Amino acid sequence: MTRKQLIEQIRLKRTYLCIGLDTDIEKIPQHLLSFADPVFEFNRQIIDATKDLCVSYKINTAFYESRGIRGWESLEKTVDYIPSSHLTIADAKRGDIGNTSLQYAKAFFETLDFDALTVAPYMGEDSIRPFLQYKNKWTIVLGLTSNPGSRDFELQQTGDERLYEKVLKTVAKWGSTENLMFVIGATRAEELVNIRNLLPDHFFLVPGVGAQGGDLKEISEKAMNKDYGLLVNVSRSVIYAGKNEDFASAAKSMASRFREEMSAYIK
């Protein structure tokens, strides 16, 4: 998916909601366990119920990898089921030496045909370059995360700037606003004005709204740009909004609430 297509979808649907399909088989409604692939059936119904209310789906691969080959089968069926009008994100946080990253890129951009992949920048440019070679694919680099451990490295001062600031400015030179996004945690809203000043035109993938406590209004006011520039990810608050057979309907209702609020912030 191109930047232009993503912007058009946000404008058309008046939402920048990304729904996280972080599906835990231990948390899905019990009646789904009778299906041959309970995880895919859960995802299928969530997608059917919410596809008109979001522009992207993010799949955290850990929830699928933990189940071995059955999990990978569920993942592949899920990404194939998502409409082509939606940006598909593999939240796999890959990043390794060049030859290994090349294989990761093939796995997620060719074999599984995701539109985007999250990567870790710690090993430098040669570990990220293989992902950037793909046309109309997005590399989403960890910038400033929400977890407490971000204080250990990301927020540490290095000379006249903090490490995360150096990462953002350096990585931005390796690609463009057409193929690079950055993960910026919603619970770091106090840093958003600074980050938007550093990267005025890039899209940010913002996890942490909903169950993790991020404030959608504050994020939107501080980080939205002329092209919207945001994909706000919500996972548990949407997909686990209901616990019974009406779980998809409950997910739709919750996604609709997020979409309604986002619509008010879109100029």
Cα angle 147, 114, 183; round to 5:
25
16-30, 177-191, 223-237, 240-254: which has the minimum mean pLDDT? 177-191
Residue 263: φ, ψ to 5°:
-60, -35
Active-site residue flag, 13: no
**Is the dihedral angle over the CA atoms 211, 223, 253, 73 positive or is it negative?**
negative
Query: In the predicted model, what is the mean pLDDT of residues 250-256?
Result: 98
At residue 211, the pLDDT reads 60
Q: Is the pLDDT of residue 204 over 70?
A: yes
Structure confidence at residue 46 as a pLDDT band (50, 70, 90): very high
Q: Indicate which CATH number applies to the domain containing 25.
A: 3.20.20.70
Distance CA(18)–CA(136), nearest Å, equals 19
Q: What is the pLDDT of residues 119-170, one digit of tens each?
A: 999 999 999 999 999 999 999 999 999 888 988 999 899 999 999 999 999 9
Structure confidence at residue 238 as a pLDDT band (50, 70, 90): very high
Domain range for residue 193? 3-265
* pLDDT more than 70, % of the chain: 99
At residue 16, the pLDDT reads 98
| Structural domains counted in the chain | 1
Query: In the predicted model, what is the mean pLDDT of residues 41-52?
Result: 98
Catalytic residue among 4, 13, 27, 93: 93
